[in-house]
Structure 1
Amino acid sequence: MHHGVFRRTASLAMLAALLVFLQTESMPGLGCWGLCAILLWLDKSMRPFLITTACLGIGVFLYLSVNSYRVGDWSREELRILYNRLSLLLILLPLAALALCKRVPFIRYWRKPQWNERISVPFIWSGYREVNIRLFLILSLTAVAIGFMPFVIARGWGHFQEVWLLAFLFAFANGLEEMVWRGAMLTRYAEQMGDIWAVAATSLGFGLLHYSVGFPWWACLVYAIGGLYFGGITIKSQSMLPVILWHAAINALMVFGGLLNV
């Protein structure tokens, strides 16, 4: 196997293992991860990735620790969700400190989208035709709305009135999740691995971290596949805004449709 491909494959494996071990509280696993990190440290080209991933691990540990308190006993579900989503800031803190120490931009994708950039359908970088990002987003939001509408209608107006605040908070707070994966992590990994591998890594991390909020591992992998599109659109548009809008729409409609008990 080519050395570059080996390094990037090892990077994906290390990222996945760290998130799994942290969420399952596997001390032996974390010990093995540390030993592997020491061995990979001998390869100087791996050091930036290891430092970035270690900072992510510190942030995820803080996030999990804060959410281990019994906030589920709170009387209002909205407060629990807001607490959980705002605690994503703890993941961003070590990454922000790393950017400050290295004197590099914390997030490169916090800018106006390049709406007219062309992408391929259906796989962003390849497909049977090309459209601009503005049209792709409109079509995607329309497809999402049509797909969820039967569930929303079945729940009725009463359910909408009960959960509108929860849906708003859950949709709004996804911006912090995007800042972690399509913001800080995609910025660092794109520098270290290139755009496509960075999209793969951040999508895998995005999916796996959903285990911490109660999703089974198979569902986490489904989320990771969705993350590939989020990452690809961010790279193509050079902005997080399109995926923040897309992600917010999906989250809100999942709550309105009763498909997500958060």
Structure 2
Amino acid sequence: MKETLFYSTVLRNIASLFLFGTLIIILQTNQYLLMSIWGICAWLFFINKSMRFFIVTTMAFGIGFFLYVYVNSHWITDLNPEGMHIILNRLSLIFLILPLTAISLIYKLPFMRYWQLPQWGESVRVPFILSGFHQTKVSAFLSIAMIINLIAFMPFIVNNGWAYIQEIWRFMIIFSIINSVLEEIIWRGMLLSRFSEHFGNRWAVMITSIGFGLQHYSLGYSWGSCLVFALGGLFFGAITVKSKSIVPAVIWHMLINSLMVLSGMILK
């Protein structure tokens, strides 16, 4: 009986992951026929009472993501200079926050579970935070990870030269703050909170990380690059769960965004 329940739960979680991921892909590729098929599948899931909250949350996210994609493909697509276009693109992430906020109000749920000071002394595993061969603290793991990121990007930053840094530093600060804060509120704040309540922490981290990676396709990245972003999302989600706060993920995300700008990966 327990084994049957276990496999049933795993299949449900995999199906939910597939449903959430395909919605993001469909909305970015304008596959309206597939959208109809997705709607039918969502309805079949909705019949199951245990899946209704997930479907409602996913549809609320889908509405926000549709508005986000529409605004960026119709309203600001030709905006110049490029830096202004990128900043407005990131600010339009607010369209994802609004319907998710409505869900929190309707169901009388907290805005997010991770809106608190981080537990820096909490134990994590190395190298994957939730699993690994060595144990350390959140603060130590984050420090080492950020140093590794800095070392990895440094050759590209040095190659661009000091003149480029002087030209780009204002954009770097604005972009890294806006993008990091808004993306973390959406993915490791609101969605991770809602999905953790439904699937538990590990599956919630998995689902939100896949979604986080796939949504980068609308920013001009390849699907292969999206998988790399999804891997980053796994680390952001795991450190959020362990520290019980989005603060470490915001700090880490902000550093990576800054390094991407300085290396020329965002604006060149």
- Fold match (TM-score > 0.5): yes
- Structure-2 change in CA distance of 1:54 and 1:62 (3 Å): same
Aligned AA (2:184): E
Give RMSD over aligned pairs. Answer: 1.2
The correspondence of residues 69-84 of structure 1 with structure 2, limited to 5 A, is: 69=74, 71-84=76-89
Note the alpha carbon deviations across 1:152-175, whole angstroms, 9 max, x for none. 111101111121122112211121
Note the alpha carbon deviations across 1:2-35, whole angstroms, 9 max, x for none. 1101110000000011000000011001100000
Distance in 2 of aligned mates of 1:130 and 1:156? 38
Percent same amino acid at aligned positions? Answer: 45
1:116 and 1:132 in contact (8 A); partners too:
yes
120-129 or 110-119, which deviates more: 120-129
2:113 and 2:193 in contact (8 A); partners too:
yes
Distance in 2 of aligned mates of 1:220 and 1:104? 31
Q: Which residue of 1 is the match for residue 110 of structure 2?
A: 105
Distance in 1 of aligned mates of 2:73 and 2:216? 15
How many Å apart are 1:48 and its aligned residue? 1.0
The correspondence of residues 17-36 of structure 1 with structure 2, limited to 5 A, is: 17-36=22-41
Distance in 1 of aligned mates of 2:118 and 2:191? 19
How many Å apart are 1:72 and its aligned residue? 4.2
Note the alpha carbon deviations across 1:73-106, whole angstroms, 9 max, x for none. 3332221121111110100100000000000101
The correspondence of residues 109-258 of structure 1 with structure 2, limited to 5 A, is: 109-173=114-178, 174-258=180-264
Distance in 1 of aligned mates of 2:223 and 2:155? 27
| Structure 2 unaligned spans of 5+ | none
Distance in 1 of aligned mates of 2:252 and 2:217? 21
Structure 1 consecutive aligned stretches of length 4 or more whose deviation exceeds 6 Å:
none
Q: TM-score, normalised by structure 2?
A: 0.95
Aligned AA (1:24): T
How many Å apart are 1:54 and its aligned residue? 0.4
Distance in 1 of aligned mates of 2:46 and 2:134? 43
Question: Does the residue aligned with 1:79 lie in a helix, a strand or coil?
Answer: helix
| Structure 1 unaligned spans of 5+ | none
Question: Does the residue aligned with 2:126 lie in a helix, a strand or coil?
Answer: strand
2:83 and 2:267 in contact (8 A); partners too:
no
How many Å apart are 1:71 and its aligned residue? 2.5
Question: Does the residue aligned with 1:68 lie in a helix, a strand or coil?
Answer: helix
Distance in 1 of aligned mates of 2:79 and 2:42? 40
Distance in 2 of aligned mates of 1:156 and 1:191? 47
- Residues 1:47 and 2:84 aligned together: no
* Count of residues paired in the alignment: 262
How many Å apart are 1:70 and its aligned residue? 5.2
Distance in 1 of aligned mates of 2:185 and 2:222? 24
Aligned AA (1:37): A
Question: Does the residue aligned with 1:104 lie in a helix, a strand or coil?
Answer: coil
Aligned AA (2:142): L
Note the alpha carbon deviations across 1:117-169, whole angstroms, 9 max, x for none. 00000011221111100111111111111111111111101111121122112
Q: Which residue of 2 is the match for residue 5 of structure 1?
A: 10
